[in-house]
């Protein structure tokens, strides 16, 4: 399912026009991205959490050049589904 599919489904079930739904979905994604960029987690009860995970610094190897690289520590976004969400999928 794509973002367009989600927008069409929400517009169809709620009766709200697609441009309004698109605006709300885009703003939701913007708020989530900005919150994660500032290190704040986003918790949606019954759905899941968008969290920031920290990856430690590590050493990698470039086999073709026979050299080592140091990959610095960095943050990555992650999603952790709520237990009720996982239970609904298991059914």
Residue 17: the pLDDT is 95
Q: Give the distance, in angstroms, between the CA of residue 11 and the centroid of all CA atoms in the same chain.
A: 22
Tell me what pLDDT residue 6 has. Answer: 96
Read off the pLDDT of each residue in 8-34 and give the average, rounded to a whole number.
96
Beta-bridged to residue 79, according to DSSP, are: 50
pLDDT at 91: 83
| pTM of full prediction above 0.85 | no
- DSSP strand pairing (58-62 vs 67-71): antiparallel
Q: What is the pLDDT of residues 29-87, one digit of tens each?
A: 999 999 999 999 999 999 999 999 999 999 999 999 999 999 999 999 999 999 999 99
């Amino acid at each position: 399912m794509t973002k367009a599919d989600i927008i069409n489904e929400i517009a169809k079930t709620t009766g709200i026009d697609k441009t309004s739904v698109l605006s709300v979905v885009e703003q939701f994604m913007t708020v989530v991205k900005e919150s994660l960029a500032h290190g704040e987690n986003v918790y949606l009860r019954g759905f899941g959490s968008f969290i920031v995970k920290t990856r430690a610094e590590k050493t990698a190897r470039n086999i073709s050049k026979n050299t080592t690289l140091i990959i610095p520590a960095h943050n990555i976004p992650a999603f952790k589904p709520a237990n009720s969400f996982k239970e609904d999928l298991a059914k």
